[in-house]
Amino acid sequence: MMEVQIERRDGLVLVAPSGDIDLSCSRDLQQSMRQALDGKPERVVVDLSRVPYMDSSGVATLVEAMQIARKQSTRLILCGLQDKVRSIFEIARLDRVFTIARSLEEANTA
């Protein structure tokens, strides 16, 4: 089962899902992302270091979040991508569309 933790501090919202993200839970992530973007924070960091697997339904959720973020001038940054998750972004050529940081520290300062 996937769980999502959301933490807010000083204009930054940290979204940290854990578990596989597929069609069974991508709507939960969608709700969390909308909640994180609510209030137009300056920066939203999605820490994927505890997500071992993601399919296109999870990617679609993040694409939607990116579009909302761009419209409201929120900086959306992904970080901590594991190999299998990075792979789907590469297959879909979305690794060049998202801002992807190597670590949470880098995402917080990027």
Residues that bind another protein (CB under 8 A): 20, 22-24, 53, 55-57, 59-61, 63-64, 67, 83-84, 87-88, 91-94, 97
CB of 22 to another protein, least distance (A): 5
- Phi first, then psi, for residue 54 (nearest 5°) are -145, 135
Could you give the CA distance from residue 76 to residue 5 in angstroms, rounded to a whole number? Answer: 16
Closer CB to another protein, 1 or 10, in the complex: 1
CB of 75 to another protein, least distance (A): 17
Q: Is the dihedral of CA 19, 17, 78, 32 positive or negative?
A: positive
Report the distance separating Cα 7 and Cα 5, nearest Å.
7
- Whichever of 87 and 99 has its CB closer to another protein, that residue is 87
Q: Specify whether the CB–CB gap between 18 and 52 falls below 8 A.
A: no
Cβ 46 vs Cβ 15: under 8 Å: yes
Cβ distance to another protein smaller for residue 11 or 67: 67
Smallest gap from residue 108 Cβ to another protein (A) = 25
CB of 91 to another protein, least distance (A): 5
